[in-house]
Amino acid sequence: MTTTDAMLLAAPCMNIPSSPISVDCDSLLVVVPAPRRVRFETATTYVFPVACGGSALPKETGPPVGMAWTHNDTYTTDLAASGLKCRRGRVRKFTHLERIALLRAADVSGHEIAALCAESIAIRTSRAATVHEVRRHKRKLQARRERHHDAADDDDAETSSDDDDAETSSDDDEETTTYSSKRRMFIPLTDC
């Protein structure tokens, strides 16, 4: 914000006399910083060879495909000269057979691919069992809460007939108060 912008913002306040009930206009000024923009000149791409394993496990079937620990190629692109526009998209997911073909091309043996498939099946089974266990636990907790809630409602129905509830009223112009054991709250009553 420039000085002239600040003066224009403060201009309506300049005619206000100072008095105990007026507010200092300088304290009302809000300095808004200019928006910042980032521009990238170059993009460096690191190319990693295909390797078995990795952190991503396919949802359906097949072995996981990952990257090797070190890159084998690097290239730099000048973004200003290339004329490429930024676009959003999704990462393409490979099918079971495409992942096997990628691993074969990376010189992974058939036995290793079969072992990876067996390991990924075990991981998927373990994850499915964990999801099932968590859902069962949530259902059990929900049922317990509902039973507890129903029991509390039954207890409240029994105690509401007792003399636990207190109602006080006065013929004077004082406030009337009601205590309810069901909701355990203080309810001030006004003129009825």
> Domain for residue 70, yes or no?
yes
Question: Measured between alpha carbons, how far is 50 from 60 in angstroms, rounded to an integer?
Answer: 20
The token pair that represents 153 in the structure block = 């409602």
Q: Please report the pLDDT score of residue 19 as a whole number.
A: 57
Neighbours of 69 (CB within 10 A): 8
> Domain for residue 102, yes or no?
yes
CB contact at 8 A, 69 and 124: no
pLDDT by 10-residue block (mean), the chain, 192 residues = 52 54 64 82 90 76 85 89 77 86 89 89 90 94 86 64 47 49 52 50
| Total domain count, the chain | 1
Question: Measured between alpha carbons, how far is 126 from 120 in angstroms, rounded to an integer?
Answer: 10
SS3 content of the chain, % helix, strand, coil (to 5): 40, 15, 45
Q: What is the pLDDT of residues 122-151, one digit of tens each?
A: 888 999 999 999 999 999 999 988 888 877
Question: Measured between alpha carbons, how far is 125 from 132 in angstroms, rounded to an integer?
Answer: 10
Question: Measured between alpha carbons, how far is 50 from 135 in angstroms, rounded to an integer?
Answer: 37
> ∠ CA 137-120-91 to the nearest 5 degrees?
95
> Domain for residue 37, yes or no?
no
**Which residues, including other chains, have CB under 8 Å from residue 175's CB and lie 6 or more apart?**
188, 189, 190
Question: Measured between alpha carbons, how far is 39 from 60 in angstroms, rounded to an integer?
Answer: 40
Q: Please report the pLDDT score of residue 181 as a whole number.
A: 47
Q: What is the pLDDT of residues 82-99, one digit of tens each?
A: 777 777 788 788 888 998
pTM (global) more than 0.75? no
What domain range is 50 assigned to?
42-81+93-149
Q: Please report the pLDDT score of residue 134 as a whole number.
A: 94
> Domain for residue 111, yes or no?
yes
Sign of the alpha-carbon dihedral angle for 4, 10, 11, 15: negative
> Domain for residue 20, yes or no?
no
> Domain for residue 159, yes or no?
no
> Domain for residue 55, yes or no?
yes
> 166-168 and 73-78: which strand pairing?
unpaired
> Domain for residue 59, yes or no?
yes
Question: Measured between alpha carbons, how far is 75 from 121 in angstroms, rounded to an integer?
Answer: 37
